[in-house]
Structure 1
């Protein structure tokens, strides 16, 4: 969408298939018409809630980033206008003799390093002199399902060590280049939480998606409006002593018909019919017990005379 260079790496699915499955961008004109129609057909709410601040409404009216339609796929004409490079692990010839380090991570890092140096994304003085690039661009690197068993080619025992070495080297080369990397890690495959914590310390930003599918929260009426929770584990603090703290860390996501939205988690009030009935039943029981107690006291008073 911005004309930046792309590099997609995967060991499970073909990177070309991932690129072809990108969602279709929504035009700004259609967005403005949709929002205008929604404003015209806005529901009337209670007068006491009309002056409260609305969530997720931009004060300037400008939208940051782009919007995408999940029901449609991006056209190939848009993908051909940008420079793309793919890394597919099964197609790489990796030697299985050296067990000291994972050759898959080493091969991936060499591909990333060559792409940064040859594509004109490096910021070092030597690279700038040799390349002579005037119009620089940005490289967006995406690694799909890193640290899965498919990446453990010949170093199963040293898997965590090799992964930490790769992330440390990748983080160092990104600091001196016009490149940014987004990677996904299947943490549900790790039984040891300490390994996940080591990986999180080597990343600038860490988010975790908790889906309600197959869990007890899926049938819980409290989370009926959402499909999962959006956890923020780590926020970047580049060139600063502390990271930015958002207003709320209780976030949830919902998958709608055409888009995926992330918003603040608002629990609904407990106004269910079962609760009201239980309160009415308890009130009736209390009234019956009080009347029975009063009747017993009155009957005993009629039979006996009490001296005070």
Structure 2
């Protein structure tokens, strides 16, 4: 008789979750993002914001909208804007059949100018697969009505000006937020934690607004240390709980280049959004079908030896009229034929020892 015994999970299934590696896994609200990044409970998900922060706010809205549809408890903390304003423009759920327009290849396409042998091959699939029984689809062109928002279990925390001093933090705003999160988690435990899930959203953590609230005479000398301590303490609080944390960080505003690298040690999943807006890549025809690059900087490996690695790490994102999509990045082929290119190849060949070019040599 074999001594191997399969470990069965003793967790109660919660709406909007599934069990993987004995952990509850939630959806981010974006099917393509769920495919490349596994989001377990008790984990911290960090998004390095794009320069303008437009696309990172969209990811945050998807995260909150998915929680509202699944009847999860939500906690929103912000110092840059009023948290109540964030939920006013959450995308409305829709069926899988009501999706944005997808450009499909025409059946009567023109024959290829070169490599005609490849005409019968299927085209490269850029989109990622999705689990039809997990997560929801949302329409960015429509918003969840105010009545549904009011009925949802949402807690808000507007960090305007905290003058609370603590022994471990120079900036009291971090200490205040940690106490608020601890209280929300305690309330979740007392209300039978196994029957609900908590989603925590902290947009633009560590922005200049947070720095302006430094209580240490505005010296900001320990600004990076406070941010690292906060992430480490937050990780210890949410570990082994039915809590998921979604944080966006404007890393491009940090003076210390090593701060983000040190911060990644205390988080579970981290991605970076590189927008083409205002950059030289915006006019590059290679990226004409995309709005930015999607970089995975860290993947979680909770309860497993190695993390899940997506089939491709070269990814880009595009914002359509109704949805946000992450796809594999495929460079277009070089289809242009010109005599200039052939002539450039010939003239680039150096002279031989006989003083003649290669084109003048007869074989």
Into which bin does the TM-score normalised by the smaller protein fall?
A: 0.7 to 0.9
Runs of 5+ unmatched residues, structure 2: 1-68, 112-118, 349-355
Mapping 1:280-291, distance limit 5 Å: 281-282=343-344
Separation in 2, partners of 1:215, 1:57: 27
Report the counterpart of residue 95 of structure 2 in structure 1: 27
The change in CA–CA distance for 1:59 and 1:17 in structure 2 (over 3 A counts) is closer
Mapping 1:38-187, distance limit 5 Å: 43-44=106-107, 48-50=120-122, 54-56=125-127, 58=129, 62=132, 64-90=134-160, 93-95=162-164, 101-118=170-187, 120=188, 122=189, 131=190, 133=192, 136-152=195-211, 153=213, 154-155=215-216, 156-187=220-251
Runs of 5+ unmatched residues, structure 1: 123-130, 298-308
Separation in 1, partners of 2:196, 2:168: 38
Query: 1:231 touches 1:250 (CA, 8 Å); kept in 2?
Result: yes
Report the counterpart of residue 296 of structure 2 in structure 1: 232
**Larger-gyration structure (1/2):** 1
Query: 1:147 touches 1:163 (CA, 8 Å); kept in 2?
Result: yes
Residue 133 (structure 1) shift:
2.6
TM-score, L = length of structure 1 = 0.78
TM-score, L = length of structure 2 = 0.67
After TM superposition, the structure 1 stretch with the greater mean CA deviation from structure 2, 141-150 or 241-250, is: 241-250
Superposed CA offset, 1:211-242 (max 9, x none): 01111111111111111100000000111232
Equivalent residues, number: 273
Q: Is residue 2:283 matched to residue 1:212?
A: no
Query: 1:3 touches 1:81 (CA, 8 Å); kept in 2?
Result: no
Residue 81 (structure 1) shift:
2.7
Separation in 1, partners of 2:304, 2:282: 40
Residue 107 (structure 1) shift:
0.2
Residue 285 (structure 1) shift:
8.0
Equivalent of 1:201, from 265, 277, 294? 265
After TM superposition, the structure 1 stretch with the greater mean CA deviation from structure 2, 188-197 or 134-143, is: 134-143
Higher relative contact order (Cα pairs below 8 Å, separated by 6+ residues): 2
Q: Which has the higher helix share?
A: 1
